[in-house]
Structure 1
Amino acid sequence: MSPFVNRRGWLQAGLASAGALVLGACDRITNSKQGVAVLQSAEGLTRRAQRLILDRKALAREFAPADISTDFKPNGSIDPTDADYLALKAKGFADYRLVVDGLVERPLSLSLADLRAAPSRTQITRHDCVEGWSSIGKWTGARLGPLLDRAGLKPNARYIVFHCADTLGEATDGSGKYYESIDLIDAYHPQTILAYAMNDQALPVPHGAPLRLRVERQLGYKQAKYIMRIEAVADYSHLNGGAGGFWEDRGYEWYAGI
């Protein structure tokens, strides 16, 4: 085994342990300014260390069809009851449109047919949940990078925000809608896709139909489901709780790299 692989394995194990300790402490420290500062410092160290040592375009491990999990556990929202979503679901998502806007030159409104016609990628990868379980699934979807190029990011765009259809719980702004964000490095990663198929079938509702994010080098809570809108922004401090995601607003790390 090469020194690089050894070093990568050591780094991933060490950062995973550190991340687990931070998340385990969230309930105790996120209510204090000092605690928040500790979390932000640890997150920044994790992100900088991974991107210093690992190739930004290094691929997450991909598996063989025989490795696909027979029981891939869905989590978070598994059957949204939001009225707009139910109306789309009742028609088999025939009326679904993905909006791409924000800091873009050419806002987009894309049907599922449009997304299926876009540059795509199929990959068999492992989903690692912060709860401690993992499953392997096969995903097919539109590559996010080419879609962003099609929309034309403005020079001040730095983050991509995913606005979702599901109300998971009470958000800090009272809306409860799930949302997530990633930076442009992860947005343009070769394995970052908007998945519309799972295991060679249309994406099922419990796993985020009609469209979900797969950003394979991050933990499961970053893999936003039921995506309705993608917004390019300069920063995310004005959104909901200001931390860049539904769970991040509750103390989880914004950068959940693995």
Structure 2
Amino acid sequence: MSRTFQANRRRFLTLAGVAASTVPLAGCDMLDGVFSGDSAVRQTLASANSLSYRVQRMLAGDRLAPEFAATEIRQGQRPNGSTDPDGPDYRALKATAFATYRLPVTGLVEKPLDLGLDEIRVMPARTQITRHDCVEGWSCIAKWTGVPLATLLDQAKVKPEARYVIFHCYDAMNLGLGGPTPYYESIDLLDARHPQTILAYGCNDQALSVANGAPLRVRVERQLGYKMAKYVKSIELAATLAPYGGGKGGFWEDVGYDWYGGI
């Protein structure tokens, strides 16, 4: 994909994010007008999303995202989005240093999983030094360590009808639409099985910090940062995205962001 296409697409998404961020000030009426099903903004976003997905699938294949030398790490990973969820479930986990954390893998699988953090940490791991590209326009290179998501999917034995992996999270976001909404994200099985898609529990040779998504966050290195859900509570395999949130595949997608945030 050309740099020009990527740059224009990122600017467009940034404008969408700015529009979404004005919701607490302008109220629900503004959101309904800007992102309603028949609005020009919604239609343009949907068109860009479909085009991006088709082009990425046609050109990218199994392409790896660029990886970097350790000397390219200039700073700690910059936190974004939620940085310390205040829900009682998460606070209880944090109080035990996540010793009581369990990760369910459910939905369209033959063998549902329920894994503790220690069980995940002893699985074959992958370490990669990659660049986090935020829709806001900044980037940050960091070293990530975690278990390939494909490993968990293989253990759970995904059913043939499954098409998507949905990540349910402990954090919630508030855009003034009736209170905090639980964060969720999704990817398709092609990205879920990509070798660089991991559930990270380490960053820059340290245990993953709370600010960056402890105990587990998703790394989908060929997509923008909002796709990399933090504070993963559970993983679900599904045939459709329709029953989840607003049916668009993620918290930010439900207010107009691109579902396939490819870079």
Moved more, 216-225 or 170-179: 170-179
The aligned residue for residue 21 of structure 1 is 12
User: Shift of residue 221 of structure 1?
Assistant: 0.4
The aligned residue for residue 224 of structure 1 is 229
Structure 1 residue aligned with 2:59, among 53, 56, 70?
53
Number of residues of Structure 1 aligned to a counterpart in Structure 2 = 248
Gaps of 5+ in 1: 1-7
User: Shift of residue 202 of structure 1?
Assistant: 0.5
Structure 1: how far apart are the matches of 2:3 and 2:145? Answer: 26
The aligned residue for residue 82 of structure 2 is 77
Aligned pairs (5 A) from 1:105-184: 105-169=110-174, 176-184=181-189
Structure 2: how far apart are the matches of 1:242 and 1:226? Answer: 21
Structure 1: how far apart are the matches of 2:200 and 2:186? Answer: 16
**Preserved CA contact (<8 Å) 1:173 1:240:** no
SS of equivalent residue, structure 2 residue 211: helix
- Which AA in structure 2 matches 1:75? N
1:30 paired with 2:35, answer: yes
The aligned residue for residue 211 of structure 1 is 216
Structure 1: how far apart are the matches of 2:141 and 2:34? Answer: 33
TM-score, normalising length: structure 1: 0.91
Identical aligned residues as a percent: 54
**Preserved CA contact (<8 Å) 2:131 2:139:** yes
- Any idea what the Cα deviations from partners look like across 1:17-57, whole Å, max 9, x if unmatched? 13422541563842351422221111110111122122x21
Residues 237 and 171 of structure 1, relative CA distance in 2, 3 Å threshold:
farther
Gaps of 5+ in 2: 20-32
Structure 2: how far apart are the matches of 1:139 and 1:158? Answer: 26
Structure 2 residue aligned with 1:192, among 194, 197, 200?
197
- Which AA in structure 2 matches 1:235? T
Give the 4+ runs in structure 1 shifted more than 6 A.
none
TM-score, normalising length: structure 2: 0.89
**Preserved CA contact (<8 Å) 1:173 1:241:** no
User: Shift of residue 155 of structure 1?
Assistant: 1.1
- Any idea what the Cα deviations from partners look like across 1:194-232, whole Å, max 9, x if unmatched? 000001110000000000000000000001000010000
Residues 74 and 119 of structure 1, relative CA distance in 2, 3 Å threshold:
same
SS of equivalent residue, structure 1 residue 78: coil
Q: CA RMSD in A?
A: 1.8
SS of equivalent residue, structure 1 residue 146: helix
SS of equivalent residue, structure 1 residue 124: strand
Structure 1: how far apart are the matches of 2:178 and 2:150? Answer: 30
The aligned residue for residue 3 of structure 1 is none
